[in-house]
Structure 1
Amino acid sequence: MRVISIPDLATALEEIRKIGADEPGQKIMAPKAVFRAVKVRDLTPVQANILKQEMLARGGEAVVARGAINYTVERTDVLLLGTLKQFRLLIAKLKQQPFGLPRLAEKLAQVLENAEGFRPFRLNCRGRELRLGERTLIMGILNVTPDSFSDGGKYNTVEAARARALEMVEEGADIIDLGGESTRPGHTPVEAEEELRRVIPVLEAILPEVPVPISIDTSKAVVAEEALRRGAHLINDQRALADPNMAAVVARYEAPVVLMHNPSTPQYRDFMGDIIDHLAERVEYAEASGIPREHIILDPGIGFGKTPEQNLEVVRRLDELKSLGLPVLVGPSRKSFIGYVLDLPVEERLEGTAAAVAVSIVKGADIVRVHDVKQMVRVARMVDALVRRRSYAR
């Protein structure tokens, strides 16, 4: 006798099939085997009380603020607890209710669907392809800067950068991320002209020789446009389209884009909820600007606007980003939160990086951005062998 782990509907179906249940019974019973806890933010007491009543009626639970019951609070968050079967019954009922609950039902159904994971797909990066969802992809960092926190000055000549790009491909990198401005804490911003002076010669040198997609790590639309015009394949924007011209550039060149959480004022009411809400807002903005949803990758921004403890929490709770239904990139490589835990300088954070990468993959990361490509390719392959054996049957 044992307790087994059933994280998703595919696993539930597999376990029920092993028992020998007939096929119609499998489909009926599987949603009863998967438990979900869904947090809904900022509802009125009327909405919260209907949710609680309807979820309780279906054998689940709903946690609301004490004041929601007697209407002494204006708003409340709600924590819904139940099986997929109970949620499906709840959603059907909410669609018949007033007070904006049909719209809430649609969002709830989408979040639950997203939690099952996206189906693997091929991302067209302007002529080069990334296969997302089949295995963890490795993005190799190529900083052509004098002041990056880990490798500043090592690759700031064209020949050194070219050699490192080719070396990373040989080591197994799936993407090369080329950046010309340091974003470390306390960095000195550079003008677009200087960033272009650093990036474009290297881009032109490696494009003919590097067979994998080349990402441009920039938050400046003018840099992104010039790089895309010369053949770059995607944009890694650590400001999530904050430059008012960036979205139009990305859309015009039909380039995939990474949107990172990087708050200008890092104040949180509900830490992971605030990160997810911010990313959801940036996704909506991107789509409204003409960027297809299937071209968007999300990055929770480890090391940006977060304390060391909060960076650890991001990794622990990374799977919550699946609620948005988009691929997730994480970049823990050699960062200060690893030094905070291990009390080690940047050049001695390989093992700490490996641990953060491994847990990130377990928690759903699709791409990891790293300096130590050879070692992290090995980590990713091993963790993939442990956790990525999955079916996408519904």
Structure 2
Amino acid sequence: MSWQEIIEVINVPDAATARKLMEEIGVDARGIELMVPKALHYCLKLKDVPARAANILKQEMLARGGEAAMAAGVAGWSIEKTDVLLFATRRQLELLVEKLPQQYFGLNKLAAAIQATLNSREKAGIQEIKCPRGPLVLGRRTLVMGIVNVTPDSFSDGGFFYDPGAAVEHAHRLVDEGADIIDVGGESTRPGHEPVPAEEEWRRLEPVLKRLVAEIKVPISVDTYKAITAQRALDLGVDIINDIWGCRADAAMAAVCARYQAPIIIMHNQQGTEYQDLMFDILTSLKESISLAEGNGVLPEQIIIDPGIGFGKDLQQNLEVMGRLRELKVLGKPILLGTSRKSMIGKTLNLPVDQRLEGTAATVALGVAQGVDIIRVHDVQAMVRVARMADAIVRRF
């Protein structure tokens, strides 16, 4: 066939892909750097923009070859505010950022936010998170966090590892199967769970953590939203705190993690499933939790985010978040995904908890494809294999 008959449409999700494509056809290094910003296309969504500001954005985007979509009433001044979608290459957005500081109606502040968003979205490379047992190295491959529930009522394996000896033995098994992190929880957070007092939570955790700190070499995480439990665990030598309420349930949590310079996993969570704009609301909530943590002294490079699949979301909302995980990258933080055996899988496939392995595998593969850095799972050996296969395709290590 002739060259005019076959056209390939290529997805270019990031700068690394754009560079690789140009290198493959022999573009010189200077040309690559000049053209990468033109190869990256974005759709940025702004909420509740005043009509006057929206009209200026429209003009400025058109002047740079981009586009701004907004509610029909803006042009006729029949509405006071609108959501705005900016469609542009990175270069067009960079030119917009240069002009906006000269504008009014809040557009001068928008410039810095757009630049920060672009920088976070394109953040790449190898990152290390410091832990007492050695750093977590992100960016080379997807890390696997193995779950150890020291509870009598966990939705998936409640009671199996309630005995401290059984829990420690299970943790060793997960490490042997390839777990990069062990996450230990002393309170079930399944839907409808009964909160456990801090003293009872610690009674369950303490004997297990004492042995694990002495016996295993991979970082240990404690799944708790209580600051006193986090402090006790960190005193023992635990590496990471995994807070399902993102520092919101206990006002002292962020300060405790800061005091120990401990990494913290900040999860999105809320009461009920009402949202005005699902992903925008989740991003806003996570950003507020990040600001709370950093404002209390947690180092920015020690924060990991989790979209909270199964928490404060119904089935369709969980599925939508799963399909839009890549959007979390605008926050500039490593992403943890926890879908293992959850009700989203059970409801979708109409399967009980003990038959959700394949469904979990599908969510893990999709997560890796969208740039997730850590997966939190029960079935470590199987999910290590899934992650490695997905990494080989996505990261091509």
What TM-score comes out, normalization by structure 2 length?
0.96
Counterpart residue number, 1:71: 77
Distance 1:27 1:190 in 2: 55
Counterpart residue number, 1:386: 393
Distance 2:283 2:19 in 1: 29
- Match status 1:103 vs 2:95: no
SS for the counterpart of 1:208 is helix
Counterpart residue number, 1:3: 9
Distance 2:29 2:269 in 1: 47
Contact 1:162–1:202, Cα closer than 8 Å, also in 2: yes
Q: 2:179 aligns with which of 151, 173, 180?
A: 173
Mapping for residues 142-291 of structure 1, pairs under 5 Å: 142-242=148-248, 243-291=250-298
How big is the shift at 1:12? 1.4
Contact 2:61–2:68, Cα closer than 8 Å, also in 1: yes
RMSD, matched Cα: 1.2
How big is the shift at 1:127? 4.5
Contact 2:133–2:218, Cα closer than 8 Å, also in 1: no
How big is the shift at 1:133? 1.7
How big is the shift at 1:95? 2.5
Q: Structure 1, residues 93-129: CA drift from partner, whole Å, max 9, x if none?
A: 1122222222211111111122223331111123531
- Match status 1:52 vs 2:58: yes
- Match status 1:36 vs 2:37: no
Contact 2:147–2:184, Cα closer than 8 Å, also in 1: yes
Distance 2:39 2:393 in 1: 22
Contact 1:144–1:180, Cα closer than 8 Å, also in 2: yes
What TM-score comes out, normalization by structure 1 length?
0.96
- Match status 1:304 vs 2:311: yes
Counterpart residue number, 1:294: 301
SS for the counterpart of 2:84 is strand
Contact 1:263–1:305, Cα closer than 8 Å, also in 2: yes
How big is the shift at 1:296? 0.5
Q: Structure 1, residues 41-63: CA drift from partner, whole Å, max 9, x if none?
A: 12111211111110111111101
Counterpart residue number, 2:19: 13
Distance 2:43 2:124 in 1: 19
Aligned residue identity for 1:108: I
Distance 1:386 1:191 in 2: 45
Distance 1:70 1:126 in 2: 60
Query: What's the % identity of the aligned pairs?
Result: 54
Counterpart residue number, 2:350: 343
How big is the shift at 1:292? 1.0
How big is the shift at 1:26? 2.1
SS for the counterpart of 1:95 is helix
Aligned residue identity for 2:271: S
- Match status 1:112 vs 2:145: no
List runs of 5+ in structure 2 lacking aligned partners. Answer: 1-5
Question: Higher mean Cα deviation, 378-387 or 84-93?
Answer: 84-93
How big is the shift at 1:361? 0.9
Q: 1:315 aligns with which of 305, 318, 322?
A: 322
SS for the counterpart of 1:212 is coil
Question: Higher mean Cα deviation, 24-33 or 147-156?
Answer: 24-33
Aligned residue identity for 2:179: A
Aligned pairs, how many?
390
Contact 1:213–1:232, Cα closer than 8 Å, also in 2: yes
Aligned residue identity for 1:351: E
SS for the counterpart of 1:353 is helix
Aligned residue identity for 1:310: Q
Distance 2:57 2:393 in 1: 38
